C-alpha cells in the first residue's frame, strides 16, 4: 500500500480523496493555487504545496509544478480526481516515468477513450452497441452531407476530443448541416486544439445512462450498476439517480455483463464509466470516462462501497477481492449538484460565504469543501457542494431530498439550491418521466 499520495485537484473532490486516504492510513499532500491557500483541502492535508497563481493553466494544469511537488514531499502516488489532468494521457505517462503511480487507468486507455472516434471503434470491436453514425472522422463537408443522408436527420456533429458539451452541434435537416459542421470544428479547435469531428444520429427522447466499473491489474472486472444522468442543462449534468427509474434489474444485468466483458478484453484497469444513450429499450455507447465521476457518491450509497478506496487499492496492485455476485444494490440514491450560480440566469456567483449550514439525518450525505467565511473564487468550476440522499425506495429518497434541500443554507452567494427544490417538486420528475431534453424545457418555462 502507498505511504503518501499527492492529490492533484482541489475543492470537494480533493477533500473526498483525503478522507479515503486517511481511513487507509495514508498521508496526503495537497497542491493549491494562491487563490486556494485557505481552502479546506489545504487546511486538512498532512502537507501542502503552492503550485502557482490562480489560473488553472498556471497551477492545477501545471504538470512540472505538480511533479516537483510530488518529488519534494516524497509522495509515491498521485490521484488526479476528476477534471484538470485526470484524463490527460501524457500526464499519466509522466507520472509513471518519474517512478510514481498514477491512480487511474493506463495512459494507453486514457488516450484511447479520450479520442471519441477511437473509443467507439474499440468498443464496437469488443461487442458494445453504438449509436448509428459516421465511420470515423468527417474529413470534409461533403462527407458530412453524405453521412447525414445515409443515417437520416436529425444528426449530431461532435468533437472527437470533446467533453462537457463543447464541440456539439445539431443539424435537423440538410439546410443546417453546413453551419453545424463548421461551428463544431471551430469550437472543437478552440476548446481542445483539435478540429476532428464525427457524426451520430440525434435521438429525440433518450435517457443518459452510465455504468460504473472497477477493474484490477489481474483481469478482474465488476460493475456497480447504472446511474441515470439525464437531467442536464447545456450537456452539463445537474441531478443524478442510482438506479435509473427507466430500466429494470434484468436490463442492468445484461448491460453490465456486456460492459465488463468488453473491458476485460481491452485489459482495462482501475475505475471507469461507460456512458450510453437509452431509447426504445436499446442502449447505445457514446463515450467512456477514464476517471472517477462527479456523481460517484450515488453509486457508493447504493452499493455500500468506497470507490476511491477501491481505486487506491487496485492501483497499489491489490486484487478486487470480490466477484460480481458479491455486489449488491439496495434502495435508491439521488445526487444534486449545487453550484455557485444564480438559480434563474445561471450566471456564476463567486464571493464570500457568510454562513453555511449543511443538512443531516439518516441517509443524507454532503460532499463539500465550503465553510462559513470561505471565499468562492471565480477561477474554477462553480460546483460547491453535492447533496446525496439514500432511502429504501425512490419515493422515499425524493421525500428525503426535499427535506434536506429545505435544510440546506448557503448565505452570502446565490446557489442553485432553489432550482433543485423546483425539480423535486415537479410531478414529471417524481414520476421518473424525463429525458436528456427535459431539464432545458423545465428551466425555460420558469
Nearest to 84 by CA among 16, 9, 147, 31: 9
Cα Dmax for the chain? 61
Nearest to 208 by CA among 289, 147, 151: 289
Residue 332: which residues within 8 A CB-CB, separation 6 or more? Answer: 241, 242, 243, 302, 390, 391, 392, 393, 394, 396, 397
Nearest to 401 by CA among 241, 250, 262, 268: 241
Q: Please answer whether residues 119 and 161 qualify as being in contact, where contact means their C-beta atoms are separated by less than 8 angstroms.
A: no
Q: Which long-range contacts (CB under 8 A, 24 or more apart) does 24-29 make?
A: 24/309, 24/312, 25/1, 26/1, 26/2, 26/312, 27/3, 28/4, 29/4, 29/5, 29/69, 29/70, 29/73, 29/75
Identify the bridge partners of residue 320 per DSSP, sorted by sequence position. none
Catalytic residue among 185, 207, 252, 291: 291
Q: Please answer whether residues 288 and 113 qualify as being in contact, where contact means their C-beta atoms are separated by less than 8 angstroms.
A: yes
Q: Measured in whole angstroms, how far is the alpha carbon of residue 135 from the centre of its chain? A: 27
Q: Give the C-alpha separation, 163 to 113, whole Å.
A: 11
Q: Please answer whether residues 330 and 224 qualify as being in contact, where contact means their C-beta atoms are separated by less than 8 angstroms.
A: no
Task: Report CA Rg, the chain.
Answer: 21
DSSP 348: B
Q: Please answer whether residues 45 and 4 qualify as being in contact, where contact means their C-beta atoms are separated by less than 8 angstroms.
A: no
Nearest to 308 by CA among 384, 224, 185: 224
Half-sphere exposure of 158 (CA within 13 A, CB side): 23
Does residue 233 have a cis peptide bond before it, meaning omega lies within 30 degrees of 0?
A: no
291 given a catalytic annotation:
yes
Residue 199, phi then psi, degrees to nearest 5: -130, 145
Torsion-angle region of 356 (φ positive above 0: left; ψ -120 to 50: alpha; else: beta): beta
> Residues with catalytic annotation?
291
Amino acid at each position: 500500500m502507498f505511504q503518501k499520495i499527492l492529490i492533484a485537484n482541489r475543492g470537494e473532490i480533493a477533500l473526498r480523496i483525503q478522507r479515503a486516504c486517511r481511513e487507509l492510513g495514508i498521508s496526503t499532500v495537497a497542491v493549491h493555487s494562491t487563490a486556494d491557500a485557505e481552502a479546506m483541502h489545504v487546511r486538512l492535508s498532512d502537507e501542502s504545496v503552492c503550485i502557482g497563481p490562480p489560473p488553472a493553466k498556471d497551477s492545477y494544469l501545471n504538470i512540472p509544478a505538480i511533479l516537483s511537488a510530488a518529488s519534494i514531499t516524497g509522495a509515491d502516488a498521485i490521484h488526479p480526481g476528476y477534471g484538470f489532468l485526470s484524463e490527460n494521457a501524457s500526464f499519466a505517462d509522466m507520472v509513471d516515468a518519474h517512478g510514481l503511480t498514477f491512480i487511474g487507468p493506463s495512459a494507453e486507455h486514457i488516450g484511447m477513450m479520450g479520442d471519441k472516434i477511437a473509443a467507439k471503434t474499440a468498443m464496437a470491436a469488443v461487442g458494445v452497441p453504438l449509436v448509428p453514425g459516421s465511420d470515423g472522422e468527417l474529413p470534409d463537408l461533403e462527407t458530412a452531407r453524405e453521412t447525414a443522408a445515409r443515417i437520416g436527420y436529425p444528426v449530431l456533429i461532435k468533437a472527437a476530443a470533446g467533453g462537457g458539451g463543447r464541440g456539439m452541434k445539431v443539424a435537423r435537416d440538410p439546410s443546417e448541416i453546413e453551419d453545424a459542421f463548421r461551428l463544431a470544428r471551430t469550437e472543437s479547435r478552440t476548446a481542445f486544439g483539435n478540429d476532428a469531428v464525427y457524426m451520430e444520429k440525434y435521438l429525440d427522447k433518450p435517457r443518459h445512462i452510465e455504468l460504473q466499473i472497477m477493474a484490477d491489474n489481474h483481469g478482474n472486472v465488476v460493475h456497480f450498476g447504472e446511474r441515470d444522468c439525464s437531467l442536464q442543462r447545456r450537456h452539463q449534468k445537474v441531478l443524478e439517480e442510482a438506479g435509473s427509474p427507466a430500466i429494470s434489474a434484468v436490463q442492468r444485468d445484461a448491460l453490465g455483463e456486456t460492459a465488463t466483458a468488453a473491458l476485460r478484453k481491452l485489459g482495462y484497469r482501475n475505475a471507469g464509466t461507460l456512458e450510453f444513450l437509452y431509447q426504445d429499450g436499446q442502449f447505445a455507447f457514446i463515450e467512456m470516462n477514464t476517471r472517477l465521476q462527479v456523481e460517484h457518491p450515488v453509486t457508493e450509497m447504493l452499493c455500500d462501497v468506497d470507490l476511491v478506496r477501491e481505486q487506491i487499492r487496485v492501483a497499489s496492485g491489490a486484487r478486487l477481492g470480490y466477484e460480481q455476485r458479491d455486489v449488491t444494490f439496495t434502495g435508491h440514491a439521488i445526487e444534486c449538484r449545487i453550484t455557485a450560480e444564480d438559480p434563474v440566469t445561471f450566471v456564476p456567483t463567486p464571493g464570500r460565504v457568510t454562513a453555511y449550514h449543511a443538512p443531516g439525518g439518516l441517509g443524507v450525505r454532503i460532499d463539500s469543501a465550503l465553510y462559513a467565511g470561505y471565499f468562492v473564487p471565480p477561477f474554477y468550476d462553480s460546483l460547491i457542494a453535492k447533496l446525496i440522499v439514500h432511502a429504501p425506495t425512490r419515493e422515499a429518497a425524493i421525500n428525503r431530498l426535499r427535506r434536506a434541500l429545505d435544510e440546506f443554507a448557503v448565505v452570502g452567494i446565490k446557489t442553485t439550491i432553489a432550482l433543485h427544490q423546483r425539480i423535486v417538486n415537479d410531478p414529471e420528475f417524481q414520476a421518473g418521466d424525463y429525458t436528456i431534453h427535459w431539464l432545458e424545457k423545465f428551466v425555460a418555462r420558469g
